[in-house]
C-alpha cells in the first residue's frame, strides 16, 4: 500500500513562498507568484483571493475589483470573494455596491467578522448611524469571545493587562463574571444633551474665535452622563492599546450603542451653526493610565471634532490640566493622514507650528465638558494627573463629523 507523502505539492510550496513575500510587504514578488499559480490552476481559491488583496494593496483597484468579481461569478458561494470585492468598492467610494457585496457575504457566512465590521462602516458613511450599531456589536461579541480569540494574538502590554484586571475586579463586584461583557447602552427617555442656553453665544464664539473652537460645560443631562459612565466602565470595549499607554474603544470593539447615536443626533440638533449637516462618520473612546502619557500631537481627518470628558472631577488631581491643548494653525491640506499621524510626526509638526508662529490654547479637564473645534487643528492631550483606581481613569469620547476640507 502506498504511503501518502507529507511533502507539499509544487503549487502549495509556491503559495507558501508568495504568502511570505506578501507578509513582508514585497507585493510585486507575491503578485508574480500568485499569477504563476493561477496560470496552472485558474480557479485556485486561495491564490485568487490573495492576488486580489495584493492588487488592492498596490492601489490597482480596477484590477482587484475585476478579479474578485470574476471569482464571485464563477463561485457565487465564495463569501470571501464577495467581501473582498466589497472592500475594493468601498475604497472606490461605491458605497451602495459595497454594501450589497457585504450583505451577500454575510448571507453566506453570518459570522464573518470582517464583513460585519465593514458593512457597519459603509452604512455609517451613508449616514445611517443607528443601523450600524447591531453590526458593530455583533462583531465585538464574536471577536471578544475567548472561543474565537486568535491563537496568534500577542500578549497584552502590561498597561492593558492591568486595566483588564481592574475591570474584571470591578465587574465581579457587580456580580458580572462573563468572559466578555457588553452593556446595552440604551437611549435615555428624555434628552441626552442639555439644551443650548447660551442664546447663540456658543455659535458666535465658534464663528469668531481663532482657533475656531467652543467649550461647552454641562453637556449631557445627568441621566445620560451616568448611563454613559456605566457603559464605559462595564463594557469590555477597551481593546486597542497605544504606545503611550492609553486604550482605544472603536465601534467594531462594541463602542456602538443607542445612547451614543442619541448623543450624536442631539449634538447636531443643538448646534446646527457648528455641526451643520455634517454626518457623524467616526467616533471612539480613549481611556488613560494615570501614570502614563496621553495622545501625541496630531490632527484628524474631519470637518468638526467634538471631544468630551465623562469621569468625575474628583478623579483629577490637578484642575488646571488634564484636558486638551489646541494650536491655532491647521494641518496643511497637502499633508496626508500618515504624514501628521505617524509615530515620528511629532517633531515635524512642532517645527511647522514654530515656523508659522502658532500659539496654543489649553482647555483644562472638567467632567461633562465638551471641546468642539476645527478637526484640522493640531492638538494633544494635556498632562494627566489622575488618581489611581479603575473608575478614576480619564475617559474622553471623540465624535468626528464630516470630511476634512468641507468646512
At 368-384, the pLDDT tens digits run: 999 999 988 999 999 99
* CATH classification for the domain delimited by 158-179+181-401, as one of 1.10.260.40, 3.40.605.10, 3.40.1280.10, 2.60.120.620: 2.60.120.620
Segment (H or E) for 247: strand 247-249
Residues 6+ apart with CB under 8 A from 388: 290
pLDDT tens for residues 309-354?
Answer: 999 999 999 999 999 999 998 888 888 767 766 767 888 899 999 9
Domain residues of the chain, as ranges?
Answer: 11-127, 158-179+181-401
pLDDT of residue 109: 97
Angle among Cα 369, 370, 373 to the nearest 5 degrees reads 150
Segment (H or E) for 330: strand 324-330
Residues 327 and 377: their CA atoms lie apart, in Å, by: 6
* CATH classification for the domain delimited by 11-127, as one of 3.40.50.2300, 3.20.20.70, 3.40.220.10, 1.25.40.10: 1.25.40.10
Query: Which three cell numbers mark 6?
Result: 507529507
Domains 11-127 and 158-179+181-401 share a fold: no
Residues 78 and 280: their CA atoms lie apart, in Å, by: 33
**Per-residue pLDDT tens digits of the chain, which is 407 residues long:** 344 444 457 777 777 776 787 777 887 887 787 778 778 778 777 777 787 787 778 888 888 888 888 888 878 899 999 999 999 999 999 999 999 999 999 999 999 999 999 999 999 999 999 999 999 999 999 998 654 544 446 788 999 999 999 999 999 999 999 999 999 999 999 999 999 988 888 988 888 887 788 999 999 999 999 999 999 999 999 999 998 999 999 999 999 999 999 999 999 999 999 998 899 999 999 999 988 899 999 888 888 999 999 999 999 999 999 999 999 988 888 887 677 667 678 888 999 999 999 999 999 999 999 999 998 899 999 999 999 999 999 999 999 999 876 65
Cβ 365 vs Cβ 320: under 8 Å = no
Specify the DSSP class assigned to residue 277: T
Residues 67 and 88: their CA atoms lie apart, in Å, by: 11
**CB atoms closer than 10 angstroms to residue 224:** 23
Amino acid at each position: 500500500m502506498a504511503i501518502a507523502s507529507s511533502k507539499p505539492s509544487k503549487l502549495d510550496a509556491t503559495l507558501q513562498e508568495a504568502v511570505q513575500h506578501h507578509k513582508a510587504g514585497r507585493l510585486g514578488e507575491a503578485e508574480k507568484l500568485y499569477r504563476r499559480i493561477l496560470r496552472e490552476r485558474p480557479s485556485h481559491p486561495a491564490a485568487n483571493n490573495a492576488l486580489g488583496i495584493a492588487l488592492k494593496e498596490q492601489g490597482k483597484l480596477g484590477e482587484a475589483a475585476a478579479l474578485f468579481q470574476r471569482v464571485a461569478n464563477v463561485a457565487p458561494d465564495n463569501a470571501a470573494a464577495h467581501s473582498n470585492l466589497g472592500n475594493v468598492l468601498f475604497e472606490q467610494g461605491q458605497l451602495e455596491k459595497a454594501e450589497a457585496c457585504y450583505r451577500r457575504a454575510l448571507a453566506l457566512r453570518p459570522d464573518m467578522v470582517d464583513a460585519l465590521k465593514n458593512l457597519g462602516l459603509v452604512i455609517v458613511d451613508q449616514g445611517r448611524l443607528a443601523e450600524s450599531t447591531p453590526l458593530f456589536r455583533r462583531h465585538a461579541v464574536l471577536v471578544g469571545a475567548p472561543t474565537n480569540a486568535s491563537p496568534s494574538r500577542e500578549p497584552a502590554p502590561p498597561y492593558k493587562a492591568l486595566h483588564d484586571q481592574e475591570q474584571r475586579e470591578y465587574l465581579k463586584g457587580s456580580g458580572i463574571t462573563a468572559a466578555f461583557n457588553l452593556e446595552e447602552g440604551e437611549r435615555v427617555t428624555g434628552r441626552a444633551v442639555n439644551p443650548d442656553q447660551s442664546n447663540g453665544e456658543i455659535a458666535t464664539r465658534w464663528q469668531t474665535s481663532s482657533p475656531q473652537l467652543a467649550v461647552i460645560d454641562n453637556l449631557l443631562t445627568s441621566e445620560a452622563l451616568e448611563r454613559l459612565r456605566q457603559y464605559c466602565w462595564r463594557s469590555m470595549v477597551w481593546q486597542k492599546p497605544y504606545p503611550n499607554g492609553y486604550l482605544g474603544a472603536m465601534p467594531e470593539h462594541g463602542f456602538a450603542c443607542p445612547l451614543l447615536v442619541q448623543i450624536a443626533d442631539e449634538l447636531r440638533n443643538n448646534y446646527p451653526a457648528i455641526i451643520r449637516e455634517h454626518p457623524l462618520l467616526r467616533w471612539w473612546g480613549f481611556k488613560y493610565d494615570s501614570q502614563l502619557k496621553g495622545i501625541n500631537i496630531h490632527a484628524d481627518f474631519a470637518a468638526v471634532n467634538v471631544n468630551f470628558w465623562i469621569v468625575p472631577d474628583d478623579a483629577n488631581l490637578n484642575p488646571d490640566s488634564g484636558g486638551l491643548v489646541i494650536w491655532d494653525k491647521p494641518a496643511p491640506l497637502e499633508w496626508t493622514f500618515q504624514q501628521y499621524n505617524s509615530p515620528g510626526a511629532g517633531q515635524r509638526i512642532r517645527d511647522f507650528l514654530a515656523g508659522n508662529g502658532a500659539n496654543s490654547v489649553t482647555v483644562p479637564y472638567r467632567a461633562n465638558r465638551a471641546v468642539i473645534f476645527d478637526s484640522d487643528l493640531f492638538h494633544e492631550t494635556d498632562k494627566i494627573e489622575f488618581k489611581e483606581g479603575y473608575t478614576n481613569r480619564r475617559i474622553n469620547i471623540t465624535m468626528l463629523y464630516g470630511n476634512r476640507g468641507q468646512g
